């Protein structure tokens, strides 16, 4: 390790010792759990303070997705796994295409289940990875790192800027003067971890909360929900098929058999089925109305 890296780490709050857990190794199991829980309570408050910047990030992501662009997460270790997880959950939840929200992790797919040591330091591999998806100006690249200094992530963001992409940088420390290469910096300084340096704890929790907010808020703005119900989910499992019918029944007060028949007429598309019911039209006309109103059910109803 170079002296400069050593000095960098010294400045990070996520690498500092937590005065509240100095006796961690001599605590009882109950005391360990209570100490961790006490530390975790501060995470939502830190995220709340970052909401203005999270809002700016959503305002960058929504038009990108509307115009055929992509949201691409890039991270290493826990941060990378959380990005890949969030991307993987968008198609079943919001009916997005797999290419619309993607996740890259340092070390490749194998790093999802087994740590690949040193992959986070490979700045050149970050460029090679992003070259695989042919970045364009309509994309938004979101770098995720608790520390603010991970070379793989920083290289990804710098390359994305060169390609004209929008950029978001999620960190769990205070930004430094060297972090001005992103359009939006979402800083969630959670402070020292209960176990020093283990950023899968508070920093990981904060990251998951922020990613939940980014994609959920973006998808709501894109018309992927009606009221607070998912209406663009894909019915690819028995659970999701049941959820689709339950949502249709909740919104229309119909019985199960009627809902089942309508969903089948709509080829499993909940949005289409709802418009068919409320506008008293066939499936093809329902899809035309949705396309005309950008896929937003409320605009179809009120239009």
**275-303 burial, b if ≥16 CB within 10 A, otherwise e?**
bbbeeeeebeebbebbeebebbbeebeee
Contact 32, 38 (CB under 8 A): no
Pairing of strands 225-226, 229-230: antiparallel
Tokens linked to 67: 């115009």
Alpha helices (H) along 67-166:
77-94, 123-131, 151-162
34 a catalytic residue: no
What is the distance between the alpha carbons of residues 206 and 78, in angstroms, rounded to a whole number? 12
Catalytic residue among 11, 89, 137, 193, which? 89
Residues 6+ apart with CB under 8 A from 275: 281, 286, 289, 290, 297, 300
Pairing of strands 225-226, 184-187: unpaired
Catalytic residue among 34, 120, 137, 284, which? 120
Which residues participate in catalysis according to the annotation?
Answer: 89, 120
């Amino acid at each position: 390790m170079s002296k400069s890296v050593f000095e960098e780490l010294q400045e990070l709050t996520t690498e500092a010792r937590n005065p509240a857990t100095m006796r961690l190794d001599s605590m009882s199991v109950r005391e360990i759990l209570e100490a961790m829980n006490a530390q975790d309570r501060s995470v939502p408050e830190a995220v709340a303070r970052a909401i203005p910047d999270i809002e700016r990030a959503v305002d960058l992501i929504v038009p990108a997705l509307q115009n055929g662009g992509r949201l691409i997460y890039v991270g290493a270790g826990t941060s990378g796994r959380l990005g890949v997880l969030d991307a993987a959950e968008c198609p079943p939840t919001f009916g997005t295409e797999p290419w619309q929200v993607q996740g890259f992790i340092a070390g490749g797919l194998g790093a999802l289940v087994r740590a690949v040591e040193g992959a986070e330091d490979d700045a050149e591999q970050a460029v090679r990875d992003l070259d695989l998806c042919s970045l364009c100006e309509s994309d938004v690249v979101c770098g995720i790192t608790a520390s603010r200094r991970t070379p793989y992530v920083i290289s990804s963001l710098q390359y994305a800027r060169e390609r004209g992409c929008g950029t978001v940088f999620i960190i769990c420390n205070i930004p430094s003067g060297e972090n001005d290469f992103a359009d939006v910096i979402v800083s969630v300084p959670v402070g020292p971890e209960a176990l020093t340096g283990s950023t899968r704890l508070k920093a990981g929790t904060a990251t998951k909360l922020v990613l939940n907010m980014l994609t959920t808020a973006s998808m709501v703005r894109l018309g992927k929900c009606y009221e607070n119900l998912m209406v663009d989910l894909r019915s690819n499992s028995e659970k999701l098929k049941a959820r689709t019918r339950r949502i249709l029944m909740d919104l229309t007060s119909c019985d199960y058999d009627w809902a089942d028949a309508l969903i089948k007429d709509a080829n499993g598309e909940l949005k289409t089925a709802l418009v068919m019911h409320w506008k008293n039209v066939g499936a093809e006309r329902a899809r035309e109305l949705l396309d005309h109103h950008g896929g937003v059910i409320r605009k179809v109803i009120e239009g």
